[in-house]
Amino acid sequence: MAFKERRTTQRWKQGIQRSLSGYLFLLPALLIFALFVWYPIIYGFLMSFQNVDLINSSHWVGFANYKRVFSDPLFGIAWRNTLAFTLYALLFGYFIPIILALLINEMRHGKGFFRLAFYVPVMLPPIVTVFLWRWIYNPDSGLLNALLSLVHLPGGLWLETPGSALPSLMVIATWSAAGSTMLIYLAALQGISASLYEAAEIDGAGLWRRLWNITLPGIRPIMLLMLILQIIGTMQVFIEPFTITSGGPQHATMSILLLIYNYAFQYADFGGASAVGVILFLVLAVFALIYMRMTNQLMQGD
């Protein structure tokens, strides 16, 4: 009996030693993660309850920052624009990578070329994308209006009109990011067993029946995950409204992240910026939890 207890104690000590050595190797990465991720998050929560003064000492104001940002008309406008942008992206941008992946997957030749062609926009620096699409949308000498004139259709002030500015930015964001999402769907399509398609062809199933009964069910888990990720990503839209429209015209492209930027770096209201950031964090945390739950179910094969 004593021998078994000694062996149990020895194994327990060996397990602690192995775990301790592993955590020691992880310690530098954990410290860097805590310093650059968790510390800013915690400090941002604290700043949202303070009147932040970079010169003098800050002082606690409770929920005053939250009351002020909720009473700001731009707060509601920014959320409305952000939700509208997310809805546009789901209605149009969500399905484009799926369609591209399905088309490329059915090709017999040239798959590599089209994969590269559709992925090139992802590799472009954001500033290059900005200048390119500013030229495309230019009302006087832009490519889009020139193409419309060739087919005798009227051009438009795409970035200067409140009704068209936000959808125009959605087109830019979709064009910039669709290539990477398309590759994810292509990888998912490779995981579908070829025997299923062979059996369907033997049974006389056409292209649409194979697509509806085999392909889409096979990539449905990835489609659901990418749906949540796209919601999280599009609700954080910043580069396009910041660099192209600056939130205009008439605040039509003011996003919630751009409002946080303006609070912090234009109004020097770091408490208000932190309050808006905390609200956005809580909203995105809900979708992040859904994503984590779906990921666990996918890994467990549920």
Instruction: Output 291 or 277, whichever has higher pLDDT.
Output: 277
Closest CA to 145 of 131, 129, 159: 159
Question: Would you state the pLDDT for residue 15?
Answer: 64
**1: pLDDT strictly greater than 70:** no
- Judge whether residue 149 has pLDDT over 70: yes
Question: What CA–CA distance (Å, rounded) separates 166 from 252?
Answer: 7
Backbone angles phi, psi at 26, to 5 degrees: -80, -15
| Position 88, amino acid | Y
Does 238 score more than 90 pLDDT? yes
Mean pLDDT within 223-246: 90
Lowest mean pLDDT among 6-10, 39-43, 142-146, 150-154: 6-10
pLDDT band at 137 (very low <50, low <70, confident <90, very high): very high
The candidate with the shortest Cα–Cα distance to 77, out of 302, 275, 258, 277, is 258
pLDDT of the residue at 274: 93
Give the model's confidence band at 299: pLDDT under 50 very low, under 70 low, under 90 confident, else very high. low
Q: Which helix H or strand E contains 59, and what residues bound it? A: strand 59-60
| Cα angle 87-226-298, degrees, rounded to a multiple of 5 | 140
Q: What mean pLDDT is predicted for residues 88-114? A: 87
**What's the pLDDT score for residue 225?**
86
Domain boundaries, the chain: 2-47, 72-300
pLDDT at residue 114 greater than cutoff 70: yes
Would you list the DSSP string of 255-266?
A: -HHHHHHHHHHT
In 3D space, the residue among 223, 219, 221, 220 whose CA is nearest the CA of residue 192 turns out to be 219
> Averaged over 247-276, what is the pLDDT?
93
Fold that domain 72-300 belongs to in CATH = MetI-like fold (1.10.3720)
62: left (phi over 0), alpha (psi -120 to 50) or beta: left
Residue 79 has pLDDT above 80, yes or no: yes
Reported as a single tens digit per residue, the pLDDT across 26-63 is 888 888 988 888 898 899 899 999 988 776 777 888 89
CA distance 39 to 90: 33
pLDDT-derived band at 127 (thresholds 50, 70, 90) equals: confident
Looking at every residue in the chain, the average pLDDT score rounds to: 87
Q: Provide the whole-model pTM.
A: 0.85
Own/partner long-range contacts of 190-195 (Cβ < 8 Å, ≥24 apart): 191/218, 192/218, 192/219
Smallest CA-to-CA distance from 75 within 296, 279, 297, 289 is with 279
Kindly state the average pLDDT of the residues 226-232: 89
